[in-house]
Amino acid sequence: MPFLQHLIRVNKSKIIILFFLSLFLGGSILLQGISIVEIVNLVFIEKAAFSNTYIFFLFFLLAIIVRLTSQFTMGRVGGLLAAGVKVSIREQLMQHWSLISMEKHVSFQTGEKVTLLVDTVDQLESYYREYIPQVIKTVVVPIMILIAVFIVHPNSGWIMLITAPFVPITYIIVGMQTKKKSEEQLDALNRFSGKFLDLLQGIQTIRLFGQSKQQENILAESNEGFMSRTLSVLKIAFASTLFIELIATLGIGIVALEIGFQMIVFKTLTFAPAFFILTLAPEYYNSLKELGAAFHTGRGSLGAAALIEEQLQEVKKPVQWGNQKLTNQPEITVDNASFKYANGPTIGPLSFTIHPGQTVAFIGQTGHGKTTILNLLSSLTELDKGELFLNNKLRNTYCADDWYAQTSYISQHPYIFSGTLRENICMGLEVSDEEIFAALQKSYLLDWLTTLPEGLDTALGEGGLGLSGGEKQRVAIARAFLKNPSIVFFDEPTAGLDVVTERLLIKSIKTLRETATVIIAAHQYESIRFADVIYIVEGGQIIASGAPELLKNHPFYKKITAGRKE
């Protein structure tokens, strides 16, 4: 497969090492055979003194040491090759996912991505750790044995050469049967694992809505399908192993029969060369059989490679940047900008300017493009058409690090990583505890901090396990205060929060807007009542804009402000 072969070429040095180790292994097998033949011939045929065999015992011991060392080292090199490839592929996947648009991330199951990154990539290990070293070994060792046999007795060499292709032919036949089934099995595993992880993440909601039994049945059906596919692959593997063993046994038997005729009937072959050939024949066929065992493992990796390659070929459109320095709190202008979903709606065209220090709100019903506009403005998604200017220069003239260093993005469901509270607030920044306490105070988390058993060193669960939605939001706000950004993006900041938490969050946002440009996407009045400019979004278009007092008669604005007090 080109994808797998490309990764082999990248690790060319390890392939060369495996080749030379195979030469040492082949040489040790020949030396071992010669030593055994000479010892037996001297003691039992020529009736020589046992002392004459000492040198061949030393050769035999040397052959065993070289053989074991070569095999062990090949395993180690194969393991290093597999480890390097897996790291490389995971880096490619992470880099690829970082370049595709935020909207495409939503279309994938989280569990599916995790399974692809962890389990599917691990499926490649056997290909590089077992199959590739065995292929090199099977190419080198049998050829060395064949050359030696042809030198000693050409007839036996021809028999071994003619019977050998039956083993790879069997591989091809089996491979045609197993490739599709192994791909189906791996695809089923990915879907099953992804479904299981997503169910675990949403288990509380499932129980609240009484869907536990229904989801249990769906999971059981997925499990049955995966088991069935796994057993069908194993059935083919077991049958092919039996057939390969039969071929090897018949091959050795034919060689032994031919040698018997040459020694007993025609008397054209003496004991020593005959015994030497019979010593090497099992080694010859064993190398081919070992390839068969590795072959089945390697074929299973092809399905994983196909899924990874498909993911890496997913069309990506990274945000374009340059290398000029960007000043803090730039003016943001979009000109005729738009973004089109694959087989979906188009957001835009949009044209507007956000001045430094402004608080701007995009409001509208759910699903009409507010979050996409926020992603376009924050440079998490590239435009399909139009231009985005920073300080009247195209964005692609500026350095990406300068932009992201001065921006913060607080989503509706900010992610909390498995780690301490300190690590989740600092996010890699080197800051003092005093600065962290100041950020917590501005985000109204100091009282909450005093309730934690270990303060800033309290461990938080993956995804913020044990934290409320409001606590997650305020931890994200604390990150922003600590970073001290000049531009802050909020996506539905008060959605789903209780009244007390909502008021605290609004106070934090008001504090942020004193020193930063604040851009908000929302459909609730509380989040946007202090905005300088409001854009009303409908169907991906801006249908109205202006200061709040200018929009008070607009139907949607009237709807969200109904019953609210300033």
Query: Could you report the per-residue pLDDT of 173-208, keeping only the tens digit for each?
Result: 766 666 566 666 667 776 777 677 777 767 877 887
Ordered domains of the chain (ranges, CATH)? 2-312 (1.20.1560.10), 332-561 (3.40.50.300)
Tokens of 248: 């090897």
Tokens of 321: 């940047």
DSSP 8-state class, residue 320: P
Q: Where are the alpha helices (DSSP H) in 365-498?
A: 370-377, 400-405, 421-426, 433-442, 446-450, 469-483
pLDDT at position 160 is 93
How confident is the model over 502-531, as a mean pLDDT?
84
pLDDT at position 182 is 63
Tell me the C-alpha distance between 332 and 258, whole Å: 87
**Closest among 435, 527, 423, 414 to 477, alpha carbons compared:** 414
Mean pLDDT over each residue of the chain, to the nearest integer:
85
Q: Is the pTM of this model over 0.75?
A: no
Q: Are 382 and 318 a contacting pair, CB within 8 Å?
A: yes
pLDDT band at residue 566 using 50, 70 and 90 as cut-offs: very low
pLDDT at position 557 is 82
How confident is the model over 364-390, as a mean pLDDT?
89
Stronger pLDDT, 152 or 345, i.e. the higher one: 152
Residue showing tokens 């195979």: 22
pLDDT band at residue 102 using 50, 70 and 90 as cut-offs: low
pLDDT tens digit sequence for 9-31: 778 899 999 999 999 999 999 99
Listed as own residue / partner, the contacts of 245-249 with beta carbons closer than 8 Å and 24 or more positions apart are 245/289, 247/163, 247/166, 247/167, 247/170, 248/167, 248/285, 248/286, 248/288, 248/289
In the three-class reduction of DSSP (H, G, I as helix; E, B as strand; rest coil), residue 359 is classed as strand
pLDDT at position 444 is 87
Q: Are 225 and 185 a contacting pair, CB within 8 Å?
A: no
